[in-house]
């Protein structure tokens, strides 16, 4: 058996993000509105006759083999469809910044699940792919489905939402990373004085009011940042707002900050900052 496919692994943004509390299993219950954007890694998947899973990547500083979520996804998929005879070779061309809060590794894993399902003709249902994704990582189910969705639980309980209206989005990657466990620990030990108005956000999204959606962007993890990091994030947000953004927030546990603009033309007019920046649009897709 042989075959090859290239899948796009799309990045995500958290338009809202709330942490509702720690669970007995050690995870946290979340409530977040997530959005796919048109920044993606390319995931090349090749089926081989010799069993085994190989994962290589275009960056030497990122994990390979089964240490990479893409390898874990392939192992879980082949076990589920009972195909121990199949070999898989995966090569990932990275474009999504790492340690950015954009689910780059989870997106790659989701692309592997979709790609193997197509290559092997297993025709798993969306529900099965989402279930497998949840075994790989919390953001993987959303990355399997994409589009605009409300995610609850660890992120595996998804509700499809109306599409984010057409807009331009500026992503700004400051020159630092953020420890996800440290941010969760910081939130566990404090009173959260401000939370996103998720029901209000959903009403604005349903009505297609982009200006209101922009004003309602919010991520509780910004509260947990170390002071110097929070100052940088706040500075980037202020810069984006001063340059025409309808709203701005950090995505995930950071460190990427994004601004929502009424159009891509308006986004590209935003003055530059001394950080890496990307200009993207929302996209929707589903398996």
Catalytic residue among 12, 72, 173, 237: 12
Q: Is 139 a catalytic residue?
A: yes
DSSP per-residue letters across the chain: --EEEEEEEEEEEEEEEEEEEE-TTS-EEEEEEEEEEEEEEEEEEEEESS-EEEEEES-TTS--GGGSHHHHHHHHHHHHTT-TT-EEEEEEE--SPSSSSS-HHHHHHHHHHHHHHHHHT----HHHHHHHHHHH-TTHHHHHH-SEEEEEETTTEEEE-PPPPS-EEEEEE-S----HHHHHHHHHTS-------HHHHHHHHHHT-HHHHHHT-EETHHHHS-HHHHHHHHHHHHHHHHTT-SEEEE-TTSS-EEEEESSHHHHHHSPP-SSEEEEE-B-----
Catalytic residue among 18, 41, 108, 139: 139
List, by residue number, the catalytic residues.
12, 139
């Amino acid at each position: 058996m042989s075959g090859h496919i290239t899948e796009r692994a799309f990045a995500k943004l958290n338009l809202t993000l709330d942490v509702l509390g720690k669970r007995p299993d050690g995870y946290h219950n979340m409530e977040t509105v997530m959005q796919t954007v048109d920044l993606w890694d390319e995931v090349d998947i090749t089926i081989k006759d010799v069993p085994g899973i190989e994962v290589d990547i275009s960056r030497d500083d990122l994990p390979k083999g089964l240490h990479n979520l893409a390898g874990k996804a392939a192992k879980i998929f082949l076990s589920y469809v009972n195909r121990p005879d199949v070999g898989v070779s995966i090569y990932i061309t990275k474009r999504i910044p790492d340690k950015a809060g954009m689910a780059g590794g989870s997106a790659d894993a989701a692309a592997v699940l979709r790609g193997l399902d197509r290559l092997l003709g297993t025709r798993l249902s969306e529900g099965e792919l989402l279930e497998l994704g949840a075994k790989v990582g919390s953001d993987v189910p959303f990355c399997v489905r994409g589009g605009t969705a409300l995610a609850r639980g660890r992120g595996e309980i998804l509700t499809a939402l109306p599409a984010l209206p057409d807009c331009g989005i500026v992503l700004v990657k400051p020159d630092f990373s953020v420890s996800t466990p440290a941010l969760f620990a910081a939130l566990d030990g404090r009173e959260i004085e401000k939370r996103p108005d998720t029901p209000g956000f959903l009403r604005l999204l349903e009505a297609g009011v982009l200006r209101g959606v922009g004003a309602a962007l919010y991520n509780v993890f910004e509260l947990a940042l170390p002071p110097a990091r929070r100052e940088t994030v706040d500075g980037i947000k202020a810069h984006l707002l001063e340059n025409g953004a309808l709203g701005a927030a950090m995505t995930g546990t950071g460190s990427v900050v994004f601004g929502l603009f009424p159009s891509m033309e308006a986004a590209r007019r935003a003055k530059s900052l001394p950080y890496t920046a990307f200009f993207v649009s929302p996209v929707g897709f589903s398996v």
